[in-house]
Amino acid sequence: MGTIYEGKRVLEISDEKGMYCGKLLTMVGMEVIKIEPEEGDPQRLWGPFAGHVEDKERGCFWIYYNTGKKSVTLDIYSEKGKEIVKKLASEADVLIETLKPGKMAELGLGYDDIKAINPKIVYCSITAFGQDGPYAQWNASSDIIPYAIAGNMNECGRPGFGYAPLNIGRNFTYNAAGLYSAVAILAFVRQAVNTGEGGYLDTAAIETAALWRNEDMANGQRFPYKPDRKKVGSAPPFPPGGMYKCKDGSVFIVGMSQWRSLSEWMKEVGMDIGEFDDEKYKIANNDNPDVCSHSDELNALVAALCQNYTKDELYKEGLRWHIPIVPMNSPEDVYNDEHFNERGFFVRVNHPIAGETNYPGAPAKLTATPLTVDQAAPLLGSANEEVLGTL
Amino acid sequence: MTNTKRPLEDILIIDNSWIVAGPHGVRLLSDLGAKVIHVESSKKKDMVRFDHIRLGVKDPKKEGGWVFQDNNRNAMGLQLNMKSAKGREIYYKLVQAADVVVSNITPRAVKSMGIDFETLSQYNPKIISVNASGMGDYGCKKDTMVFAPALNCLTGCTYTVGYEGEEGVGISVSTADDVGGAMLAFSVLQAIAQRDATGKGQFIDLSEAENMLSFIGSTILEWAYNKEQTGPIGNHAYYGPLCPHNAYSGAGRDNWMVIAIGSDEEWQRFVAEVGDEAPALKDEKFVSYEGRKANEKELDDIIAGIAVKHNNRVFAERLQNAGVSAAPVNPASETLADEHLNARGFWNLVGLPETDPRQPDFLISADVPKSMPRNEKTFKPGPAMGQDNEWILKELLHLTGEEIEEAKNDDAFI
């Protein structure tokens, strides 16, 4: 049974900033038409390539973030191209664009131009900085730029001022901008269905990233605050916890005042924990001063415990002792993980050139109207006739 | 206030969720017009009211949890004890009036609380229920105890983020919860769309781990196609012809900037701006991306030598004015003070009287994305415990004074 989103038409004039947004819209059954230059999106040539062959149809980045879309080639800067975009937009439900602010209006394809001929259009601009404000015309060749300004990068990385703060990388910040955009787009398409009126959405990646509030942002409101970096990905909220080496890799233990369980476990396997058997260390209080002031010693004991086990053994012991222990997984580990496979997370996708393999599937499981991710990314210009032929 | 209708004004959400992921997703729906009732009880307070990401204030009686205030802004507060029979009765009355029930607890806890989809749909067949958990509602590892930093680790995200040649160190603590919340909002909208079309509700099983895997899917796909994977490469670019692409220390202690050059033209602009400070940059071998990438280490060292002589903020702005992608790496306080974010109205100061148990004042973030016509609303902080009990019980559920008294005697509102 359908939803109001099925078959709604989306025009995507987008680089890496808006590709995940368009992909998400295909998952609810929208028809996403990706408009590419004649030679194809430059991101098609981002390696690594499936099968190690450098080819427009084989870039893992492009063929992942464009599954389920249709590809139309068009020079949107030519008179004829502009006219065709306008014609397509006059009947579309959604338009996603990622050009520099003002550029679409310059082409006669701005929100006001489209709204005048199609009031139901939901028009979403995704940029690094947004449509207005002092940085609106700044350059951002990659999402490291908005991420750096948004305040999270500074706390990521190894403690000590000599070490560089770390970017998430791999387009994560722009993917997030795409996800937050897709949320608002769905809501506004619903409004357009109900009232005939769409709307304009101005997504700034700098703002979506600034929403990932951290402790430093809270402290920063009270006093000038320049925190040390915390190796945060593996930083426990409270000791002991963090990343520990084991026989076949590393595990991460979320520090949540669980010295009681850890010490019981250590005693069971015959470890001598000396004075740390004292009750005062076991009081479950995240700010327990006795624990906090001995975090190095406690962490050393946990490290000694972990080195006797494999990742999988530690994961299972964690379940037994009610301690959050997870393996540090590589993409290979994730791909072969029995849990994700049991849930049918991976989906078989057959790409005519890159080949058939398991793709990461739906990011959420809806029981009645599943999000679908089973169509391959389109070959360059493969929908030209279907889409442009009818104009 | 404007009279502009928001897309979800007809939607009422019961928010049983807590900490970050659930409330963050609910907040996005609230920004789009949904009404939200945040349900809590003194038996199970939302822990981030007090001690998670505190506003730097030590008084334990003050509700210093900033993330609580920001994620639950504009929500109503209902104090209700689900362990009391009368409390449950009232809860299910509320379910009959609502459209969506949100939780983020373990699948087992959903059932024991009586807020599983089967139970809820007996009271309201149109109800949409969503539970965000770490690993999902079923599967052999569904009982894994997961918090956001653990999610980064077990999804392979930590594996890729770190210093070159070392083990991954990973990303900011709550990011997985935040983007998990955004996916919660997305999936609820899809369920609402189905309900609009068919009149039926449904259950959404949201695994935050799977949401992260979808996010970083191209990395997993490389393994699927090529049986290859790449660990940390520092701040160098993994995708695209970007070089240089790195963080460089400016003058002084811990003042970093990032520079990311994405084309040969951008490189020319960079050399024109700073080439005189380090003539080595003018070398032929750096003219093409391939040349720069092949000599990336040398190039990084030359740029680091220039950067360290400049104030990071001033230098980044100078590069931007010359048409080069650059930015300061802001500590949080600078992000809060950032002129661009403030010019766009992103941070909003909310003031409260000193006597309020919540903090006297703090910054609240605006709607993302910004929509037009602009949503000109006043931001209210997260609700005090039970602040809207009276309105919800009397005006929304039309309970009589007698019924309320009876429930009170059954400890329904503790």
**Residues A279 and A130 placed together within one structural domain of the fold:** no
Give per-residue pLDDT as tens, B56-85.
566 666 777 888 888 999 999 999 999 999
Rounded CA gap, A21 and A2, in Å? 21
**Residues A301 and A348 placed together within one structural domain of the fold:** no
Best mutation target among A53, A222, A326 (most B Cβ atoms within 10 Å) is: A326
Residue B4 has pLDDT above 80, yes or no: no
Give per-residue pLDDT as tens, A347-367.
999 999 999 999 999 999 999
Give how far Cα B334 sits from Cα of A217, B249, B254, Å. 9, 17, 13
Residue A34 burial class via C-beta count within 10 angstroms: exposed 0-12, middle 13-18, buried 19 and up? buried
Boundaries of domain holding A311: 236-329
In this structure, what CATH number is given to the domain that contains residue A353? 3.40.50.10540
Our CA-based measurement puts residue B279 at a distance from the nearest CA of chain A, in whole angstroms, of: 24
Helix axes B208-215 and B175-198, enclosed angle (nearest 10): 100
Q: Cβ separation of A359 and B249 shorter than 8 Å?
A: no
Our CA-based measurement puts residue A184 at a distance from the nearest CA of chain B, in whole angstroms, of: 7
Give per-residue pLDDT as tens, A57-99.
999 999 999 999 999 999 999 999 999 999 999 999 999 999 9
Bridging pattern class, strands A365-366 and B12-15: unpaired
Output the pLDDT for position B353.
76
What is the tally of structural domains in chain A? Answer: 2
Q: In what order do the strands lie in the sheet with A9-13?
A: A70-73, A31-36, A9-13, A94-97, A122-127, A199-204, B370-372
Query: 3-class secondary structure for chain B?
Result: CCCCCCCCCCCEEEECCCCCHHHHHHHHHHHCCCEEEEEEECCECCHHHCCCCECCCCCCCCECEHHHHHHCCCCEEEECCCCCHHHHHHHHHHHHHCCEEEECCCHHHHHHCCCCHHHHHHHCCCCEEEEEECCCCCCCCCCCCCCHHHHHHHCCHHHHCCCCCCCCCCCCCCHHHHHHHHHHHHHHHHHHHHHHHHCCCCEEEEEHHHHHHHHCHHHHHHHHHHCCCCCCCCCCCCCCCCCCEEEEECCCCCCEEEEECCCHHHHHHHHHHHHHHCHHHHCHHHCCHHHHHHCHHHHHHHHHHHHCCCCHHHHHHHHHHCCCCEEECCCHHHHHHCHHHHHCCCEEEEECCCCCCECCEEEEECCCCEEECCCCCCCCCCCCCCCCHHHHHHHHCCCCHHHHHHHHHCCCCC
Residue B120 has pLDDT above 80, yes or no: yes
What average pLDDT does chain B have? 92
Q: Cβ separation of B371 and A199 shorter than 8 Å?
A: yes
Contacting residues of A for B5, CB less than 8 Å apart: 191, 195
Q: How many Cα atoms occupy the beta-carbon half-sphere of B109 within 13 Å?
A: 15
Output the pLDDT for position A217.
78
Q: In Å, how far from its chain's centre is CA B110?
A: 23
Compute the average pLDDT of residues B328-334: 91
CA trace torsion B27, B31, B32, B33 (10° rounding): 100
Q: Cβ separation of A149 and B338 shorter than 8 Å?
A: yes
Give per-residue pLDDT as tens, A211-239.
987 777 777 776 666 666 765 554 555 77
With respect to residue A101, please indicate whether it lies within any of the assigned structural domains: yes
Q: For A204, which residue in chain B has the nearest alpha carbon? A: B369
The yes or no reply on domain B245-329 and CATH 3.30.1540.10 is yes
Q: Return the H-helix or E-strand segment holding A207.
A: helix A205-210
Compute the average pLDDT of residues B278-304: 98
Rounded CA gap, A16 and A41, in Å? 9
Best mutation target among A21, A53, A58, A221 (most B Cβ atoms within 10 Å) is: A221
Kindly state the percentage of chain A with pLDDT values over 90: 82
Q: For A177, which residue in chain B has the nearest alpha carbon? A: B369
ipTM, two decimals: 0.97
**A133, A181, A361 ranked by CB distance to B344: nearest:** A133
Where do the structural domains in chain B lie, given as residue ranges? Answer: 12-215+342-409, 245-329
- Token couple for A349: 């996708």
The 10 Å CB-count burial string (b at 16+, else e) for B206-218 is bbbbbbbbbbbbb
* CB proximity B303 to A under 8 Å: no
Bridging pattern class, strands A31-36 and A70-73: parallel
Residue A1 has pLDDT above 60, yes or no: no
Q: How many Cβ contacts (< 8 angstroms) between chains A and B?
A: 539
**B55, B206, B221 ranked by CB distance to A218: nearest:** B55
With respect to residue A202, please indicate whether it lies within any of the assigned structural domains: yes
**Residues A75 and A153 placed together within one structural domain of the fold:** yes
Greatest Cα pair distance, chain B, in angstroms, is: 87
**Residues A300 and A244 placed together within one structural domain of the fold:** yes
Q: How confident is the model at residue B373 (pLDDT cuts 50, 70, 90)?
A: low
Which residue is listed with tokens 């004991």?
A301
Give per-residue pLDDT as tens, B172-199.
778 899 999 999 999 999 999 999 999 9
Contacting residues of A for B154, CB less than 8 Å apart: 252, 326-329, 334
**Residues A352 and A325 placed together within one structural domain of the fold:** no
Our CA-based measurement puts residue B250 at a distance from the nearest CA of chain A, in whole angstroms, of: 11
* CB proximity B317 to A under 8 Å: no
Best mutation target among B62, B203, B368 (most A Cβ atoms within 10 Å) is: B368
**Residues A204 and A94 placed together within one structural domain of the fold:** yes
**B187, B257, B326 ranked by CB distance to A366: nearest:** B187
The 10 Å CB-count burial string (b at 16+, else e) for A13-32 is bbebbbbbbbbbbbbbbbbb
Q: Cβ separation of B266 and A172 shorter than 8 Å?
A: no
Q: Cβ separation of A183 and B28 shorter than 8 Å?
A: yes
**B163, B340, B371 ranked by CB distance to A133: nearest:** B340
Residue B411 has pLDDT above 70, yes or no: yes
With respect to residue A229, please indicate whether it lies within any of the assigned structural domains: no
- Token couple for B309: 């002589």
Check: CB of residue B383 under 8 Å from CB of residue B391. Answer: no
Best mutation target among A163, A225, A232 (most B Cβ atoms within 10 Å) is: A232
Checking phi first, is residue B118 left (phi over 0); if not, alpha (psi -120 to 50) or beta?
A: alpha
- B 241-270 residues with CB below 8 A of A? 242, 245-247, 249, 253-254, 256-258, 260-263, 266
Q: Cβ separation of B207 and A343 shorter than 8 Å?
A: yes
Q: What are the backbone angles phi and psi of residue B286, rounded to the nearest 5°?
A: -95, 0
- The least confident of A161-170, A352-361, B99-108, B129-138 is A161-170
Output the pLDDT for position B1.
34
Provide the 10 A C-beta neighbour count for residue B202: 21
* CB proximity B373 to A under 8 Å: yes
Output the pLDDT for position B5.
78
**A144, A327, A342 ranked by CB distance to B245: nearest:** A144
Which residue is listed with tokens 């822990």?
B47
**Residues A304 and A350 placed together within one structural domain of the fold:** no
Q: Cβ separation of B331 and A154 shorter than 8 Å?
A: yes
Contacting residues of A for B301, CB less than 8 Å apart: none
Give per-residue pLDDT as tens, A144-167.
999 999 988 988 888 777 899 999
Rounded CA gap, A351 and A53, in Å? 14
In this structure, what CATH number is given to the domain that contains residue A255? 3.30.1540.10
Q: For A159, which residue in chain B has the nearest alpha carbon? A: B169
Superfamily of domain B12-215+342-409: Crotonobetainyl-coa:carnitine coa-transferase; domain 1 (3.40.50.10540)
Q: For A351, which residue in chain B has the nearest alpha carbon? A: B225
Check: CB of residue B170 under 8 Å from CB of residue B164. Answer: no
Q: For B194, which residue in chain A has the nearest alpha carbon? A: A3
Our CA-based measurement puts residue B85 at a distance from the nearest CA of chain A, in whole angstroms, of: 30
Greatest Cα pair distance, chain A, in angstroms, is: 81
Which residue is listed with tokens 């970007």?
B242
Best mutation target among B27, B239, B267, B320 (most A Cβ atoms within 10 Å) is: B239
Q: Cβ separation of A232 and B173 shorter than 8 Å?
A: yes
Best mutation target among A215, A288, A338 (most B Cβ atoms within 10 Å) is: A215
Provide the 10 A C-beta neighbour count for residue B205: 23
